[in-house]
Structure formats: structure tokens, C-alpha cells
Amino acid sequence: MNDTADGTEHESFNCLVPYLLGFDYLTTLVNEHVRSKLGKSARGIIIIDEKEQFEADVACITRFRRFEVTRAHRVKHVVEFSYSIDSRKHPMIQLSDLVVFCTKKFLEVDQGHRDEWPDPAKHFFASCYNRIHPRLIKSTIIEQAGRHAARINPVIQASALLPRLRWKAHYGV
């Protein structure tokens, strides 16, 4: 991210903050999935873990994506952007935290950041990711549209972490 961004690529948030960049991209992903796969009348909701330090920024991104971009590029298929839930009190959010944890650990192994781990641990996280991967709604990057997107799309492309090609064969899953 530091090689491709200086933080000013987007007018409503700092692109060097991974949480904010991820939330903005998640908004694009959910809107596109609901629009293209679930039908014109379907609406989605984004549920996030409570993060008080990002509350104002998330509200700013929400306002920008819903009202301040060109009408053709507005997010229309997400009815609630940031319904916050305390993950310690809700089992479905705990489950999503586990999925994110396993995905993160697999990608750390796959990118060479956990070379010291034993092979059974690497295989375990590859097996977990093998169960998660078919359920992904998108396994490639969706580019945002609009005037603001020309500067943010390269940052998203550069900061995206995807598994190596033929990862299943590499880990024997």
C-alpha cells in the first residue's frame, strides 16, 4: 500500500488505513453481488464489528458512496451500511471472525510469512481455506466505477492479497 498510495487518493477517507480501504471495497463488493446475483429488488446489509475509532470515517464513506458520487455510480443495493454488532455477543459474527482468521493465516502461509510453521499447520490452514474458497462471492478484484475510482482502483489492486496460482496442488488439498 505504501508504494502505491499517499493517503489522498480518495476524497472521503485516508487510503493508507487498511480498515477504511477494506470497508470501501466491501461496499463495492456487496453492492455488485446483490445487484448482479440477487435481482433488482434485492437489498443487502453490511454488518461490522464495533470499531469506535472508525465510526466517523465509516459514516463519511457511507455518505460519499450513497449521495456524493455521480448518480450512476451510487451504491443503491445496500440498505444499511454499518450495522454494528459486538462480536463477543453474537455467534454468527464469531463464526465470520473464525473464517477471516483462517483465511488470514492461510494467506500468511501462502505468501511466505509463516515459513517456520510445521507442514501440518500449513496444511491445516490450506484445508480450511479449501472449504472457504468455493463460498467466496468473488475471487477476483472488482474495479470501482466513477471519477473517484481512477485513483483508488490501483491502490486496491496493489494491496489485494490473493493466493498463488495452483495453491490447491501446492498444499495437496
- Is 9 inside a domain boundary? no
- In whole angstroms, give the CA distance from residue 107 to residue 128: 11
Residue 122 has a pLDDT of 96
- Is 33 inside a domain boundary? yes
Q: Which domain range does residue 54 map to?
A: 18-171
- Is 3 inside a domain boundary? no
- Model confidence pLDDT, tens digit, residues 33-92: 999 999 888 999 887 777 889 989 988 998 998 898 888 888 989 887 666 666 677 777
Total number of domains in the chain: 1
Instruction: Indicate if the pLDDT at residue 115 is higher than 70.
Output: yes
Instruction: Indicate if the pLDDT at residue 5 is higher than 80.
Output: yes
Residue with cell string 510453521: 117
CB atoms within 10 A of CB 160: 10
DSSP 136: -
- Is 37 inside a domain boundary? yes
- Is 152 inside a domain boundary? yes
- Is 6 inside a domain boundary? no
Averaged pLDDT, 131-137: 93
